[in-house]
Amino acid sequence: MRPPRPTGLVEINLGTGSRRTIALGLAEPVSTCTGLAADERYIYVLSETESQRTCLSVLRRAGYGVEFVQALPEVKDGHSIAVSGNLLYVVSTRSDEVLAYALQERAAVPRGVAWRASDARRDTHHLNAVAVIDDALMISGFGEKTGQTWSSAVNGYLLNASSGQFAAQAVYQPHSLCAADGEVHFCESARGSIATLSGRQWHIGGYLRGLASLAPGRMAVGFNVTRKVSKSTGIENNPDDPGAGGGECGIGVYDLSAGEPRLLAEFDMSEHGNEIYDLLCLAPLDETAEALMKALPPASPRFASPRDLQQENLQLHVQLTEFAHTLSRMRNELDAAQLELASREQALREARRAMLEMLQSKSWRLTAPLRQFRQWWQILKG
Protein backbone atom coordinates (compact mmCIF):
# COMPACT_ATOMS: atom_id res chain seq x y z
CA MET A 1 0.00 0.00 0.00
CA ARG A 2 1.49 3.35 -0.98
CA PRO A 3 1.96 5.88 1.83
CA PRO A 4 -0.47 8.81 2.13
CA ARG A 5 0.37 12.01 0.31
CA PRO A 6 1.44 14.98 2.44
CA THR A 7 -1.51 16.25 4.45
CA GLY A 8 -3.00 19.49 3.21
CA LEU A 9 -5.95 21.20 1.61
CA VAL A 10 -7.77 19.13 -1.03
CA GLU A 11 -10.48 20.34 -3.41
CA ILE A 12 -13.07 17.76 -4.51
CA ASN A 13 -15.47 18.17 -7.41
CA LEU A 14 -18.50 16.32 -6.09
CA GLY A 15 -19.98 15.89 -9.56
CA THR A 16 -16.94 14.18 -11.09
CA GLY A 17 -15.04 12.95 -8.05
CA SER A 18 -11.87 14.68 -9.28
CA ARG A 19 -9.61 16.24 -6.69
CA ARG A 20 -6.51 18.36 -6.42
CA THR A 21 -4.23 19.54 -3.63
CA ILE A 22 -4.19 23.31 -3.06
CA ALA A 23 -0.86 25.01 -2.29
CA LEU A 24 -0.85 27.04 0.93
CA GLY A 25 2.22 29.17 0.22
CA LEU A 26 4.24 27.74 3.10
CA ALA A 27 8.02 27.45 3.04
CA GLU A 28 8.02 23.98 4.62
CA PRO A 29 5.83 20.85 4.42
CA VAL A 30 2.46 20.82 6.13
CA SER A 31 1.94 18.38 8.98
CA THR A 32 -1.81 18.95 9.28
CA CYS A 33 -4.57 21.36 8.26
CA THR A 34 -7.01 21.89 11.09
CA GLY A 35 -9.32 24.77 10.21
CA LEU A 36 -11.22 26.26 7.26
CA ALA A 37 -13.29 29.41 6.90
CA ALA A 38 -14.33 31.70 4.07
CA ASP A 39 -15.86 35.06 3.30
CA GLU A 40 -16.82 36.63 -0.04
CA ARG A 41 -13.22 37.21 -1.13
CA TYR A 42 -10.96 34.79 0.69
CA ILE A 43 -10.50 31.27 2.04
CA TYR A 44 -8.71 31.04 5.39
CA VAL A 45 -6.69 27.91 6.16
CA LEU A 46 -5.19 27.03 9.55
CA SER A 47 -2.28 24.61 9.39
CA GLU A 48 0.68 23.28 11.31
CA THR A 49 4.03 22.66 9.64
CA GLU A 50 6.37 19.78 10.27
CA SER A 51 8.38 22.05 12.60
CA GLN A 52 5.14 22.56 14.60
CA ARG A 53 4.58 26.16 13.54
CA THR A 54 0.93 27.18 13.42
CA CYS A 55 0.26 29.22 10.28
CA LEU A 56 -2.59 31.05 8.61
CA SER A 57 -2.82 30.95 4.81
CA VAL A 58 -5.23 33.39 3.17
CA LEU A 59 -6.18 32.33 -0.38
CA ARG A 60 -8.16 34.23 -2.97
CA ARG A 61 -11.40 32.41 -3.79
CA ALA A 62 -10.85 33.00 -7.49
CA GLY A 63 -8.05 30.63 -8.47
CA TYR A 64 -6.77 29.96 -4.92
CA GLY A 65 -3.84 32.34 -5.28
CA VAL A 66 -2.04 33.08 -2.02
CA GLU A 67 -2.89 36.54 -0.63
CA PHE A 68 -0.62 36.22 2.40
CA VAL A 69 0.78 33.70 4.89
CA GLN A 70 1.35 34.44 8.57
CA ALA A 71 2.69 32.47 11.52
CA LEU A 72 0.45 32.46 14.60
CA PRO A 73 2.85 31.81 17.51
CA GLU A 74 0.10 32.61 20.05
CA VAL A 75 -1.90 29.56 18.95
CA LYS A 76 -1.08 26.31 20.71
CA ASP A 77 -2.42 23.32 18.77
CA GLY A 78 -4.96 25.15 16.61
CA HIS A 79 -8.11 23.16 15.88
CA SER A 80 -10.63 25.44 14.17
CA ILE A 81 -11.16 28.96 12.79
CA ALA A 82 -14.11 31.23 12.04
CA VAL A 83 -14.45 34.57 10.28
CA SER A 84 -16.99 37.27 11.10
CA GLY A 85 -16.56 40.65 9.40
CA ASN A 86 -12.99 41.75 10.02
CA LEU A 87 -12.49 39.36 12.95
CA LEU A 88 -10.81 35.96 12.82
CA TYR A 89 -11.31 33.50 15.68
CA VAL A 90 -8.86 30.62 16.28
CA VAL A 91 -9.21 27.73 18.72
CA SER A 92 -5.98 27.28 20.70
CA THR A 93 -6.66 23.85 22.14
CA ARG A 94 -3.48 23.40 24.16
CA SER A 95 -4.08 26.67 26.06
CA ASP A 96 -7.86 26.23 26.59
CA GLU A 97 -8.58 29.43 24.64
CA VAL A 98 -10.23 30.96 21.62
CA LEU A 99 -8.08 33.81 20.30
CA ALA A 100 -9.24 36.78 18.24
CA TYR A 101 -7.42 38.54 15.39
CA ALA A 102 -8.28 41.69 13.45
CA LEU A 103 -8.05 41.08 9.70
CA GLN A 104 -6.21 43.94 8.03
CA GLU A 105 -4.51 44.36 4.67
CA ARG A 106 -2.31 41.27 4.33
CA ALA A 107 -2.14 40.71 8.10
CA ALA A 108 -3.99 39.21 11.05
CA VAL A 109 -3.35 41.37 14.12
CA PRO A 110 -3.71 39.67 17.55
CA ARG A 111 -6.57 41.05 19.66
CA GLY A 112 -6.24 38.78 22.69
CA VAL A 113 -8.44 36.08 24.18
CA ALA A 114 -12.07 35.99 23.04
CA TRP A 115 -12.98 33.19 25.47
CA ARG A 116 -11.11 30.97 27.91
CA ALA A 117 -12.29 27.63 29.30
CA SER A 118 -9.89 27.71 32.25
CA ASP A 119 -6.82 29.48 33.60
CA ALA A 120 -4.77 26.29 33.39
CA ARG A 121 -2.98 27.38 30.19
CA ARG A 122 -3.08 23.74 29.08
CA ASP A 123 -5.60 21.44 27.44
CA THR A 124 -8.18 20.65 30.13
CA HIS A 125 -11.41 20.99 28.07
CA HIS A 126 -10.16 20.04 24.58
CA LEU A 127 -11.75 22.97 22.78
CA ASN A 128 -12.01 21.98 19.12
CA ALA A 129 -14.52 24.05 17.14
CA VAL A 130 -15.56 27.67 16.77
CA ALA A 131 -18.23 29.26 14.56
CA VAL A 132 -20.13 32.52 14.36
CA ILE A 133 -23.83 31.67 13.94
CA ASP A 134 -26.53 34.36 14.02
CA ASP A 135 -23.91 36.82 15.36
CA ALA A 136 -23.18 34.52 18.32
CA LEU A 137 -19.73 33.06 18.97
CA MET A 138 -20.29 29.29 19.36
CA ILE A 139 -17.62 26.98 20.80
CA SER A 140 -17.48 23.24 21.40
CA GLY A 141 -15.30 21.26 23.80
CA PHE A 142 -15.01 17.80 25.33
CA GLY A 143 -15.18 19.05 28.93
CA GLU A 144 -12.86 17.82 31.64
CA LYS A 145 -11.48 14.28 31.80
CA THR A 146 -12.36 12.02 34.70
CA GLY A 147 -9.65 9.51 33.79
CA GLN A 148 -6.32 9.38 31.98
CA THR A 149 -7.60 9.73 28.41
CA TRP A 150 -10.19 11.83 26.58
CA SER A 151 -12.51 8.83 26.37
CA SER A 152 -13.40 9.62 29.99
CA ALA A 153 -14.62 13.13 29.05
CA VAL A 154 -18.33 12.38 28.64
CA ASN A 155 -19.68 15.85 29.48
CA GLY A 156 -18.87 17.71 26.30
CA TYR A 157 -20.68 20.92 25.45
CA LEU A 158 -21.63 23.59 22.95
CA LEU A 159 -21.33 27.08 24.42
CA ASN A 160 -22.71 30.41 23.26
CA ALA A 161 -19.71 32.48 24.34
CA SER A 162 -21.52 35.71 23.45
CA SER A 163 -24.18 35.08 26.11
CA GLY A 164 -22.17 32.80 28.39
CA GLN A 165 -24.91 30.15 28.18
CA PHE A 166 -24.54 26.47 27.32
CA ALA A 167 -26.42 25.54 24.17
CA ALA A 168 -25.94 21.80 24.76
CA GLN A 169 -24.35 19.66 27.46
CA ALA A 170 -23.54 15.99 28.09
CA VAL A 171 -22.38 15.59 24.47
CA TYR A 172 -19.81 12.83 23.97
CA GLN A 173 -16.94 14.44 22.04
CA PRO A 174 -18.59 17.20 19.98
CA HIS A 175 -16.91 18.63 16.86
CA SER A 176 -17.63 20.72 13.77
CA LEU A 177 -20.30 23.39 14.33
CA CYS A 178 -22.33 24.12 11.21
CA ALA A 179 -25.42 26.22 10.49
CA ALA A 180 -27.78 24.45 8.08
CA ASP A 181 -31.52 24.44 7.36
CA GLY A 182 -32.19 26.97 10.12
CA GLU A 183 -30.47 24.89 12.82
CA VAL A 184 -27.06 24.43 14.40
CA HIS A 185 -25.67 21.03 13.42
CA PHE A 186 -22.67 19.32 15.04
CA CYS A 187 -20.93 15.96 15.18
CA GLU A 188 -21.21 13.81 18.29
CA SER A 189 -18.08 12.11 17.12
CA ALA A 190 -17.68 9.13 19.45
CA ARG A 191 -21.28 8.08 18.83
CA GLY A 192 -20.94 8.39 15.05
CA SER A 193 -23.83 10.84 14.81
CA ILE A 194 -24.81 14.20 13.39
CA ALA A 195 -27.06 16.12 15.77
CA THR A 196 -28.80 19.49 16.11
CA LEU A 197 -29.49 21.74 19.08
CA SER A 198 -33.20 21.02 18.65
CA GLY A 199 -32.57 17.34 19.41
CA ARG A 200 -32.62 15.81 15.92
CA GLN A 201 -30.01 13.10 15.36
CA TRP A 202 -28.80 10.98 12.45
CA HIS A 203 -26.62 7.96 13.14
CA ILE A 204 -23.95 7.72 10.42
CA GLY A 205 -21.26 5.49 11.92
CA GLY A 206 -17.51 5.94 12.19
CA TYR A 207 -15.66 8.64 14.09
CA LEU A 208 -17.03 11.87 12.58
CA ARG A 209 -15.28 15.22 12.27
CA GLY A 210 -15.73 17.83 9.58
CA LEU A 211 -19.22 18.97 8.57
CA ALA A 212 -20.44 21.12 5.67
CA SER A 213 -23.89 22.03 4.39
CA LEU A 214 -24.04 21.50 0.61
CA ALA A 215 -27.70 22.31 -0.05
CA PRO A 216 -31.01 22.06 1.87
CA GLY A 217 -31.07 18.62 3.46
CA ARG A 218 -27.64 17.71 2.04
CA MET A 219 -24.62 17.39 4.31
CA ALA A 220 -21.00 16.30 3.86
CA VAL A 221 -19.27 14.69 6.83
CA GLY A 222 -15.72 13.43 7.38
CA PHE A 223 -14.69 10.03 8.72
CA ASN A 224 -11.39 9.61 10.55
CA VAL A 225 -8.87 6.93 11.35
CA THR A 226 -9.37 5.55 14.84
CA ARG A 227 -6.54 6.36 17.21
CA LYS A 228 -5.67 3.41 19.42
CA VAL A 229 -2.65 3.84 21.67
CA SER A 230 -1.67 6.91 23.67
CA LYS A 231 1.88 8.08 23.05
CA SER A 232 2.20 9.19 26.67
CA THR A 233 0.60 6.29 28.57
CA GLY A 234 0.44 3.39 26.12
CA ILE A 235 -3.22 2.89 27.06
CA GLU A 236 -5.75 2.13 24.34
CA ASN A 237 -7.96 5.15 23.84
CA ASN A 238 -10.92 6.48 21.91
CA PRO A 239 -10.25 7.95 18.44
CA ASP A 240 -9.60 11.52 19.60
CA ASP A 241 -6.95 10.59 22.15
CA PRO A 242 -3.34 10.86 20.93
CA GLY A 243 -1.78 7.79 19.40
CA ALA A 244 -1.36 5.66 16.32
CA GLY A 245 -4.20 3.59 14.94
CA GLY A 246 -5.93 1.99 12.01
CA GLY A 247 -8.96 2.35 9.78
CA GLU A 248 -9.74 4.57 6.79
CA CYS A 249 -10.33 8.23 6.12
CA GLY A 250 -13.08 9.56 3.86
CA ILE A 251 -16.02 11.87 3.20
CA GLY A 252 -19.67 10.89 2.95
CA VAL A 253 -22.44 12.98 1.37
CA TYR A 254 -25.85 12.37 2.92
CA ASP A 255 -29.47 13.28 2.39
CA LEU A 256 -30.76 14.21 5.85
CA SER A 257 -34.17 15.45 4.74
CA ALA A 258 -35.90 12.26 5.92
CA GLY A 259 -35.83 10.51 9.28
CA GLU A 260 -32.95 8.20 8.33
CA PRO A 261 -29.75 9.41 6.64
CA ARG A 262 -29.41 8.33 3.01
CA LEU A 263 -25.90 7.99 1.59
CA LEU A 264 -25.57 9.75 -1.77
CA ALA A 265 -21.84 9.36 -2.35
CA GLU A 266 -18.67 8.44 -0.52
CA PHE A 267 -15.08 9.50 -1.22
CA ASP A 268 -12.06 7.56 0.03
CA MET A 269 -9.50 10.15 1.22
CA SER A 270 -6.96 7.79 2.76
CA GLU A 271 -4.34 8.56 0.10
CA HIS A 272 -4.32 12.19 1.27
CA GLY A 273 -3.98 11.61 5.01
CA ASN A 274 -5.37 9.86 8.07
CA GLU A 275 -7.78 12.46 9.42
CA ILE A 276 -10.22 15.15 8.33
CA TYR A 277 -10.46 18.21 10.56
CA ASP A 278 -12.75 20.48 8.58
CA LEU A 279 -14.88 20.71 5.44
CA LEU A 280 -15.93 23.79 3.49
CA CYS A 281 -18.49 24.05 0.71
CA LEU A 282 -17.53 26.68 -1.88
CA ALA A 283 -20.44 26.12 -4.27
CA PRO A 284 -23.93 24.74 -3.49
CA LEU A 285 -24.70 21.22 -4.66
CA ASP A 286 -27.17 21.65 -7.53
CA GLU A 287 -29.33 18.95 -9.12
CA THR A 288 -26.90 18.35 -12.00
CA ALA A 289 -23.91 17.85 -9.70
CA GLU A 290 -25.95 15.60 -7.42
CA ALA A 291 -27.02 13.42 -10.34
CA LEU A 292 -23.40 13.10 -11.49
CA MET A 293 -22.25 12.36 -7.95
CA LYS A 294 -24.79 9.56 -7.55
CA ALA A 295 -23.47 7.97 -10.74
CA LEU A 296 -19.92 7.72 -9.36
CA PRO A 297 -18.62 4.20 -8.60
CA PRO A 298 -19.36 3.17 -4.99
CA ALA A 299 -16.59 3.17 -2.44
CA SER A 300 -14.56 -0.02 -2.36
CA PRO A 301 -15.13 -2.59 0.43
CA ARG A 302 -11.58 -1.82 1.57
CA PHE A 303 -12.84 1.59 2.65
CA ALA A 304 -16.37 0.85 3.79
CA SER A 305 -15.82 -2.35 5.74
CA PRO A 306 -13.16 -1.21 8.24
CA ARG A 307 -15.26 1.78 9.19
CA ASP A 308 -18.26 -0.45 9.93
CA LEU A 309 -16.07 -2.55 12.21
CA GLN A 310 -14.62 0.60 13.71
CA GLN A 311 -18.11 1.90 14.50
CA GLU A 312 -19.07 -1.34 16.22
CA ASN A 313 -15.96 -1.04 18.38
CA LEU A 314 -16.72 2.62 19.10
CA GLN A 315 -20.31 1.86 20.09
CA LEU A 316 -19.10 -0.89 22.42
CA HIS A 317 -16.57 1.53 23.87
CA VAL A 318 -19.28 4.15 24.44
CA GLN A 319 -21.53 1.59 26.11
CA LEU A 320 -18.68 0.33 28.32
CA THR A 321 -17.75 3.90 29.30
CA GLU A 322 -21.35 4.74 30.20
CA PHE A 323 -21.67 1.45 32.11
CA ALA A 324 -18.46 2.23 34.03
CA HIS A 325 -19.81 5.65 35.01
CA THR A 326 -23.15 4.12 36.06
CA LEU A 327 -21.35 1.42 38.07
CA SER A 328 -19.19 4.08 39.76
CA ARG A 329 -22.30 6.10 40.68
CA MET A 330 -24.03 2.99 42.06
CA ARG A 331 -20.94 2.11 44.09
CA ASN A 332 -20.90 5.60 45.56
CA GLU A 333 -24.59 5.30 46.44
CA LEU A 334 -23.94 1.86 48.01
CA ASP A 335 -21.04 3.26 50.05
CA ALA A 336 -23.27 6.08 51.30
CA ALA A 337 -26.04 3.62 52.19
CA GLN A 338 -23.57 1.38 54.04
CA LEU A 339 -22.30 4.38 56.02
CA GLU A 340 -25.89 5.33 56.91
CA LEU A 341 -26.64 1.73 57.95
CA ALA A 342 -23.48 1.57 60.08
CA SER A 343 -24.45 4.86 61.74
CA ARG A 344 -27.95 3.59 62.56
CA GLU A 345 -26.61 0.28 63.87
CA GLN A 346 -24.23 2.20 66.13
CA ALA A 347 -27.11 4.34 67.40
CA LEU A 348 -29.15 1.17 68.09
CA ARG A 349 -26.25 -0.39 70.02
CA GLU A 350 -25.91 2.78 72.09
CA ALA A 351 -29.64 2.73 72.87
CA ARG A 352 -29.53 -0.94 73.89
CA ARG A 353 -26.52 -0.33 76.10
CA ALA A 354 -28.22 2.65 77.77
CA MET A 355 -31.36 0.58 78.40
CA LEU A 356 -29.35 -2.31 79.83
CA GLU A 357 -27.47 0.06 82.16
CA MET A 358 -30.78 1.50 83.33
CA LEU A 359 -32.31 -1.95 83.98
CA GLN A 360 -29.25 -2.98 85.97
CA SER A 361 -29.07 0.22 88.00
CA LYS A 362 -29.78 0.33 91.78
CA SER A 363 -32.51 2.94 91.41
CA TRP A 364 -34.39 0.76 88.92
CA ARG A 365 -34.30 -2.18 91.35
CA LEU A 366 -35.38 -0.06 94.34
CA THR A 367 -38.39 1.33 92.47
CA ALA A 368 -39.54 -2.09 91.25
CA PRO A 369 -42.21 -2.48 94.09
CA LEU A 370 -43.70 0.88 93.15
CA ARG A 371 -44.06 -0.16 89.55
CA GLN A 372 -45.65 -3.45 90.61
CA PHE A 373 -48.11 -1.61 92.92
CA ARG A 374 -49.06 0.74 90.05
CA GLN A 375 -49.87 -2.23 87.81
CA TRP A 376 -52.12 -3.79 90.50
CA TRP A 377 -53.88 -0.52 91.14
CA GLN A 378 -54.64 -0.06 87.43
CA ILE A 379 -56.04 -3.62 87.31
CA LEU A 380 -58.30 -2.99 90.32
CA LYS A 381 -59.57 0.26 88.82
CA GLY A 382 -60.50 -1.81 85.91
CA gap 158, 197 in Å, rounded: 9
Determine how many CB atoms are found less than 10 A away from the CB of residue 242: 13
CA gap 241, 151 in Å, rounded: 7
To which H or E segment does residue 97 belong? strand 97-104
3-state class of 171 per DSSP?
Answer: strand
- The CATH fold of domain 9-321: Neuraminidase (2.120.10)
- What HEC string does 314-356 produce? HHHHHHHHHHHHHHHHHHHHHHHHHHHHHHHHHHHHHHHHHHH
Confidence of residue 380 (pLDDT cuts 50, 70, 90): confident
- Is the confidence at residue 382, as pLDDT, over 80? no
Please, how many CA atoms are within 13 Å of residue 144, restricted to the half-sphere of its CB? 4
pTM over 0.85: no
Confidence of residue 303 (pLDDT cuts 50, 70, 90): very low
Task: Delimit the domains of the chain by residue range.
Answer: 9-321
Distances (CA, A) of 197 to 136, 160, 353: 14, 12, 61
Q: Are 209 and 250 in contact (CB under 8 A)?
A: no
Mean pLDDT across the chain: 86
> pLDDT tens for residues 255-270?
998 888 988 888 888 8
- For the ranges 71-85, 280-294, 342-356, the one whose mean pLDDT is highest: 71-85
Q: Are 207 and 240 in contact (CB under 8 A)?
A: yes
